[in-house]
Chains A and B, each alone.
Chain A
Amino acid sequence: MKRLSLLIGLLVVMGLLVTACRPRGPETIKIGLNAELTGGVPVVGASCKNGAELAVEEINNAGGLEVGGKKYKIELLIEDNEDKAESAAAAAQKLNAAGVLLMIGPNASRNAIPAAEVAEANKMPMISPWSTNPKTTIDAATGQPKKYVMRACFIDDFQGVVAAKFAITELGSKKPAVLYDVASEYNKGIAEIFKRTMEENGIQVVAFESYTTGDKDFSAQLTKIIQSGADSLFLPNYYTEVPLQVQQAHKLGFTGVIFGSDSWGAAELIDLCGPDCEGYFFTTHYAADIATPKAQAFIKAYEAKYGKTPDDVAALTYDAFGLAFQAIQAAGKIDREAVNQALHNIARYEGVTGIMQFKGTGDPVKSAVVLQIKGGKFVYYSTAQP
């Protein structure tokens, strides 16, 4: 009996100690990052991580984020989604369980769509920096915008139209062809919108060929495309596959112009593709060489920290964090509902990728740029307004 009471006494003391050590309210704000660190598009994940770490470092070096009169440090939790739909959902669940205030990422639409389902179900605000597929923010069952999901980039409906108009007016294409990954939401979505826009403008897409993620041989489809007499080829595919497609097209004798979408915008595209991609175009989010003062400051800080020019993913991730920080401050408290409300109350935000306007949904309205690959660099070519 004596021993028992001693044990109970000990437990009570320990309990008091534990309670005494627990801080009153969190000292840090946890933000989750769900990125493609390994898998099919590793550079996207690496740029996303770089952009995120830079944004968090800047806030923390300034003493933290001031919320409701108190400064909080930001704690970044990074999860690798392996560029797989199921891992992206699992990473979102893991971050939710870790109690993050909100989640940034994933980037590729094939990962962002399943992760958005998890965010929505757990009422966890999510901002995808780079996912351009409409389904990321739209509930497929009801057709209504999702309540907790936003993005920092334009959507494919816009990008597909920009690419199609560019092909018509700038390239003067009369017989466009498309080769796209049918197993990936992003590629499929943008290819279909491109085709529809072309047809609305009275131009028939002469070849509309598909392949599956991870394929390395496109000779069958490219032979069909060349046979169709196509004068231009649209490749809305990821930077890891585009070099193979361009080189194989050249080997098979394709001589027309090739152009693509924002998934081309990694410097690795130029390394892999070499002179084969010289002179080709793609639509994307921002051009490093015509940056605004805000963007220039970001580019300078990024170059100082990582020794390379930030690509669109890094810039959009930085903007996603900017949106998040502004919303947390506006909310005035560390609460998912309040932050989500504040995110949706943002009507205009000037980021490094330009001015975003939100019109009640999670999709910003912003302009796109066309870049050209010239002398082994991405060079600004033109701007398309929404």
Chain B
Amino acid sequence: MQTLVQQVLNALQLGSVYALIALGYTMVYGIITLINFAHGDIFMVSTYVAFFVGTALMSQLLRLPGIVVFVLTVLAAMFATALLAVLIERFAYKPLRQAPRVSAVITALGVGLFLENFTLATIGPDPRFLPKFFPVVTFTMGGVAFSNIQIIIIAVSAVVMLLLDTIVRRTMVGMAMRAVSWDKFTAPLMGVPVDRIISITFAIGASIAAIGGTLFGMVYTVDPYMGIRIGWWAFISAVVGGIGNIRGAMIGGYILGFVEIFTPVILPASTYRDFVAFSLLLVLLIFRPYGILGRPVAQKV
């Protein structure tokens, strides 16, 4: 029983990060039907921004309390990553908006490779840890061990997701995003600035990935290739949840977190993990091709 609770906690920690990244995939797909394969690498860049800003702030003689440094680091990573995503959209994807969809997908893969290799060439391949913003405190309750960092990850992710859900459902920007997603030809006729809304979507998706990136960097190492596997898993999360659907991406993220943790618990080895995840995806695509929360869309001719 203790072990089960422990594994659920482990899965929630991992699932939170997947969910935060899956949101970026799903939002961009929802608005311009583009699978932004560079998103995993945008996430990777955000962890590096967090690494450099965090290290600089911690090493200064400012003597800022850890929590202030943490908040500043997250904000800096969000801002820099949002800017990067908007620039990528403006220069790599916008010129291809009328081109066949496959061109944009290939461009996205290219942007991802560029980010990986640029980071590799400029920063180097060595893995790094983010500085410790606060001391790690491990609590044990009834045989279940959990750390303050783990609680922060799970809680911050939940708050961010609630906030995003509110933005999309309750604000004008959210309404405009849904309008563009619904019909990008009619929306501009109603006075919705489509280009700006698309930029805002990229910015929001990337800043959420940056929050995920900073949280991720607090417990795992940062390296130039980290975006590849995590990006794939987040992408599967988005598809499982129903690509284009924000609540679906959150659910999908947690499902994939549970798949990763519970595969080695139930099956003999963690090696089956990718097999389980992709089988889940295949089965889901057969019976619910639009994902758990996605709605079937009639192809417009």
Contacts and interface: CB of A to CB of B under 8 A. Distances in A.
B131 to A, nearest CB: 11
B126 A42 contact: yes
A214 B126 contact: no
A188 to B, nearest CB: 11
A228 to B, nearest CB: 10
Interface stretch (A102-110, A204-212, A293-301, A346-354): A204-212
B120 A252 contact: no
Contacts of A211: 270
B134 interface: no
B124 interface: yes
A217 B260 contact: yes
Nearest to B270: A211
B271 A217 contact: no
Which of A182, A183, A217, A248 has the largest count of B CB atoms less than 10 A from its CB?
Answer: A217
Contact of B6 (A42, A252, A268, A272): A252
Nearest to B271: A182
Max chain B Cβ within 10 angstroms of own Cβ: one of A215, A221, A250, A251: A251
Contacts of B127: 240, 272
B261 A272 contact: no
Interface in A208-254: 209-212, 214-217, 219-221, 223-224, 227, 240, 243-244, 248, 250-253
A155 interface: no
B125 A39 contact: yes
Q: How large is the interface on B (under 10, 10 to 19, 20 to 34, 35 or more residues)?
A: 35 or more
Nearest to B225: A214
Nearest to B146: A251
Interface string B97-130: 0000000000000000000000010001111110
A192 to B, nearest CB: 13
Contacts of B136: 251
Contacts of A215: 270
Contacts of A43: 126
A57 B239 CA distance: 56
B270 A219 contact: no
A216 B225 contact: no
Contacts of A326: none
A248 B6 CA distance: 13
B14, B120, B264: residue with the most chain A Cβ atoms closer than 10 Å: B264
Interface string A261-275: 000000010001000
A329 interface: no
A111 to B, nearest CB: 15
Given A216-B221, A224-B264, A227-B3, A251 B270 contact: no
Given A212-B271, A220-B264, A253-B140, A42 B3 contact: no
B228 to A, nearest CB: 8
A60 interface: no
B13 A224 contact: no
A253 B3 contact: no
A223 B5 CA distance: 11
B279 interface: no
A253 B147 CA distance: 10
Contacts of B124: 42
Contacts of A244: 220-221
B260 A220 contact: yes
Nearest to A253: B145
Best-buried of B6, B127, B128 by chain A (most CB within 10 Å): B127
Given A210-B264, A251-B138, A272-B129, 18 more contacts: A38-B120, A182-B270, A209-B270, A212-B271, A216-B221, A216-B226, A217-B10, A219-B10, A220-B10, A220-B261, A220-B262, A220-B270, A224-B3, A240-B127, A243-B129, A251-B136, A252-B6, A268-B126
Interface of A: 38-39, 42-43, 182-183, 209-212, 214-217, 219-221, 223-224, 227, 240, 243-244, 248, 250-253, 268, 272
12 contacts: A209-B264, A211-B270, A212-B274, A216-B226, A217-B14, A219-B13, A223-B7, A224-B264, A244-B220, A251-B136, A251-B147, A272-B128
